[in-house]
Amino acid sequence: MTQQALISVRNVSKAFSVEGRLVQAVDNVSLQAREREFVALIGPSGCGKSTLLNLIAGLMEPDQGEIALRGDRQTERLGRIGYMPQRDGLLPWRRLLENVTLGPEVMRRDLPAVREQALALLPLFGLQGFERSYPHELSGGMRQRAALLRTLLCEQEVVLLDEPFGALDALTRRTMRDWLLGIWERFQRTMLLVTHDVDEALLLSDRIYVLTPRPGRVALEIDVPLPRPRHEGLLNDPLFASSRESILTALREHDG
């Protein structure tokens, strides 16, 4: 029996008014993510990837089509889906521990219990000893790990990641990819990742959707044929190379 999609997007379109003209961001997009699945969205800048995450998170509603959580399109999504945007969003006047517990605090969870949980997880996130540090005292990678810990502490079953490593240097980004694989394997949340990086998408994901330039449409859906657990050495695997070429071909075929 096919596992029911935890998140399903069906024939979704969204347009915006920009300087008096209508701009179609995404057009007739369908995709899904099953429980504990890692799904990536890849495509050129401006193709509507972030718009899709905003729609899935419930920050906006589609003009056409529907989005369902566990098969129910009437379910309120806002506040039930974790969302880590491109910028870490750490508040400069709050110390690290206060920043990572902000989401549960806003949700009116038991704050002492959440603080205890956060303190127990700091070593796993490479943040032990920095509980009282302010964001400006942390490296870029540490800030991103703190932002993901804040998102995971909200304990939503779906986590959206909008280019979380885009602002990091290549070496830090590579380290963070390996670290994120370990976090996903431990917490087993459903994750949707937006990225421009084909290798990153293949290394992390179970399934990838390739989007066309604006308006974003699904040009290719590919199941990643690589075994888990994954590691950077797989970049030289023939299956990795053939999957990369399929994605690059789809991107080239729809490039202007």
**Whole-model pTM above 0.85?**
yes
pLDDT tens-digit profile of 90-120? 999 999 999 999 988 888 888 889 999 999 9
What would the 3-class secondary structure string for the chain be?
A: CCCCEEEEEEEEEEEEEECCEEEEEEEEEEEEEECCCEEEEECCCCCCHHHHHHHHHCCCCCCEEEEEECCECCCCCCCCCEEECCCCCCCCCCCHHHHHCHHHHHCCCCHHHHHHHHHHHCCCCCCCCCCCCCHHHCCHHHHHHHHHHHHHHCCCCEEEEECCCCCCCHHHHHHHHHHHHHHHHHHCCEEEEEECCHHHHHHHCCEEEEECCCCECEEEEEECCCCCCCCHHHHHCHHHHHHHHHHHHHHHHCCC
Q: Which of 156, 185, 151, 214 is nearest to 25 (CA)?
A: 214
What's the pLDDT at 3?
A: 67
CATH superfamily of 5-81+157-253: P-loop containing nucleotide triphosphate hydrolases (3.40.50.300)
**Burial class of residue 252 in the structure, from the number of CB atoms within 10 Å of its CB (0-12 exposed, 13-18 middle, 19+ buried):** exposed
What's the pLDDT at 1?
A: 41
What's the pLDDT at 2?
A: 55
Q: Which residues of the chain have pLDDT under 50?
A: 1
List the chain domain ranges.
5-81+157-253, 90-155
Q: Name residue, tokens 């491109």.
A: 86
What's the pLDDT at 171?
A: 74
